[in-house]
Amino acid sequence: MDKDYIVTEPRVYLIGKSRLESDMLKAFLDDEGMFFETDTKIDAEILAETAGRLCYLSFGKGRKSNAEYLENIISSHHGSILEHITWSFLITGISRSLTHELIRHRAGFAYSQVSQRYVDESQARYVLPPLYRENCELKAIWEEAIDRAHKSYCTLAEATERYVSSKYPELTGTEKRKLVRQSARSVLPNACETKLFVTANARAWRHFLEMRGSAHADAEIRILAILIAKILKEESPNIFADIEIVEENGIEIVKAKHIKV
């Protein structure tokens, strides 16, 4: 195999997010005889503030800045209003080891992942664990193991295809390919690269960053959490104001001032 099959960094694409319908918000306020304006231009932050102010009908009252308002909401652990805002990412260059951990985050998350039952993995890529990136000897052992597994998959897929075609001629082409690939994939390692579409609300993303950005998290998923944290802090500085990326004991980690919001 060409060494181009080795992946060392994930790629994260922000492809969707919540949008404010400002005309409808104005219509609601006009119908209710209320006035509300905020100093942020970011849809996610306006939506969060609107949801919070509705709870107390505090439009136009109390805290004036969005940053101040959301800091009070988050520090008070009134996290339910953050569930109204979502961001969707398409992520590549991650291993199935990582996604086995990521999909444990259920509340507030939705996932769509490349299926090894339908997709041919004969050209698969594999994610090198961060620890092996710093040691040539360990990396060489890992590469040898990956080569063997990949060759086994390709050999099995070819042999299984011949068997299935002979044994089950009545199956359609799609059904045959699925039967072949779902069987041959059993020898693929957790390092096999996958692609994932994931959507979560702001509260769920905060929990993910808190848990998976920790120094105690698996190294690969921690790297992903840091990338996502950087994007979300740009997307909404006020919702993620207390989320920081710091260096601790020589590694980057995510720290949150307000936990379990």
* Strand 86-95 relative to strand 126-127, pairing: unpaired
Catalytic residue annotation = 212
- For 152-193, what is the HEC assignment? HHHHHHHHHHHHHHHHCCCCCHHHHHHHHHHHHHHHCCCCEE
Sign of CA dihedral 194, 102, 149, 135: positive
**What is the C-alpha to C-alpha distance for residues 259 and 242, in angstroms, rounded to an integer?**
9
Whether the CB-CB separation of 74 and 203 falls below 8 Å is answered with no
CA distance 221 to 72: 30
Cα gap 221→129, rounded to integer Å:
10
Do 129 and 191 form a contact (C-beta atoms < 8 A)? yes
Q: Are 164 and 176 in contact (CB under 8 A)?
A: yes
Report helix angle 136-167 to 173-184, nearest 10: 140
Two tokens, residue 126: 């594999």
Helices (H) and strands (E) in the chain — how many of each?
8, 8
CA distances from 251 to 56, 205, 226, 245 (A): 43, 21, 11, 10
